[in-house]
Amino acid sequence: MTAAAASAGMRRWSRDRLGRAAMFLAGGGLMALGQAPWGLWPVTLAVLVALFWQGLGPQRLWPAFRQGWVLGLGYFLVSLHWIVEPFLVDLPRHGWMAPFALVLMTGGLALFWGAAFAAARWLAPRGSAAAALVLTLTLAEVLRSFVFTGFPWALIGHVWIDTGAGQAAALVGAHGLTLMTLAVAAVTGRALRRRAWLILPLPGLALAALWLWLAPGPPAAPDPDAPVIRIVQPNVPQAEKWSYETLFDHIRLTIDLSRPDPSGPRPAIVLWPETAIPWLLDEAPDLFETAIDATGGVPLILGVQRREGSRFFNSLALIGADAQVEAVYDKVHLVPFGEFVPFGEVMARFGIHGLAASEGGGFTRGADASGTLMSLPGIGPALPLICYEGIFAPIVNRAAGRPRVLLLVTNDAWFGNLSGPYQHLVQGRLRAIEQGVPMVRAANTGISAMIDGRGRVLADLPLNTHGAIDTALPPVLPPTIYARWGDLPVGAVLFLLGLWALSARWRARP
């Protein structure tokens, strides 16, 4: 072979590899359109069907890893592009970090998908690896929900939350939805590949049957005796939240929005969002007296920061009718690099202070009391959740008893105006479906909402508006299968699939 021919061959190989990478990057981006706020789940399913139709090919582990990583990179770049928004709040100071945060976050999460593709190729070195990829990609989504404190955001199964099929979360949870999605795509894709026309419609028919069987009807009329909750949404821009020039105006607005409607029913509770006031809990007794006077003696729940010595906590407090603090919940699952610096305690031992939460440079994790219920007057037991905690199904599932309501306060001003707040909302809806328990959600800039036990939004305040709504608390449903068993059934299925895959690999050894 001449040097010219070899060079031409190398150029063709490079073009083919770049073209394939571009195809997978675009395919991952299209897959993400099934997530909120777009909700184009047929696009997600079509991309997955095409993936299983073409298979992994006769590839070695590294090319398979690269293929999965590029697909995941495209997926997370689109679904998590809002991750740059917190760095844009103080643009001169933090704006330069936004592209680095996006690349590191999406590239890091894509590693899980790359590992899933390589593992599927290892389990099926000579076959299509379709069944193995269903197993490994589901496991990758499970692992990224736990590793490094976890980030179960934009899971593949989340594309069904707005559909009747999303009600299957009451049976199998979010990871079960992911397994279901991949299984439907795999059977369809391989049936197309093999032209098995009799098998081809079966996955779609099964999905449609599940959809029709589980789809909820219209919500029932509100119970006139149900407790009413007043949800306050002050809509304070993040750039103004700690500004001395505007904070008193925002506090006055929040208090005014807390006044009950004289023509409506008396609320049982008034709910403010996360970090609703710019003062620490022990510095605000006069404010609580003013607020309780405005509510007419109705108890108040708000997100607030508090301090114990040099430690700071992101907390939720119940203020009683006498303006006294009756109960406090400290956030347990903190946001890495947002609310604390990982390994900060270790760094402090080497003289690097001011980073660890115990040094006052971040929040301290609350005592391991996630799942502890808070008794609300006129309502009953509630499970308190602060912002990020609402995306973790295990936190909700290990509640110490059956709550009457899931109580979530958040400040989604950090998430911008595009996809972040909507994705956070649908994950709250998913938690309600999984448990069969209504959720009341107060968000600083929106979207505040009352969600019933089937995940339907009964009342809401739109994004970037200030206001308040009085809404009756819907009934709690009987405990769901997921509430009883959690992820154990899906874990058992994945374990059996893993045994089958390992035995198939053993049998395929030369």
Residues with Cβ within 8 Å of residue 490, at least 6 apart in sequence: 172, 173, 175, 176, 179
Q: How many of the other CB atoms lie within 10 Å of CB of 283? A: 14
241 assigned to active site: no
Amino acid at 92: P
85 assigned to active site: no
Distance CA 147, CA 157 (A): 19
80's tokens: 């998590």
- Which is the catalytic residue, given 331, 339, 359, 389? 331
Distance CA 341, CA 347 (A): 10
387 assigned to active site: yes
Q: Which spans in 55-97 are helix H? A: 61-79, 85-88, 91-94
Distance, C-alpha 124 to centroid of its chain: 32
- Which is the catalytic residue, given 141, 274, 339, 434? 274
Q: Which spans in 195-298 are helix H? A: 201-214, 244-257, 285-295
DSSP state for residue 127 in the 8-state scheme: S
Question: What is the sign, positive or negative, of the torsion defined by CA atoms of 198, 203, 204, 205?
Answer: positive
Distance CA 224, CA 265 (A): 9
Q: Where are the beta strands (DSSP E) in 380-466?
A: 380-386, 405-410, 439-443, 448-451, 457-461
Catalytic residues: 274, 331, 387
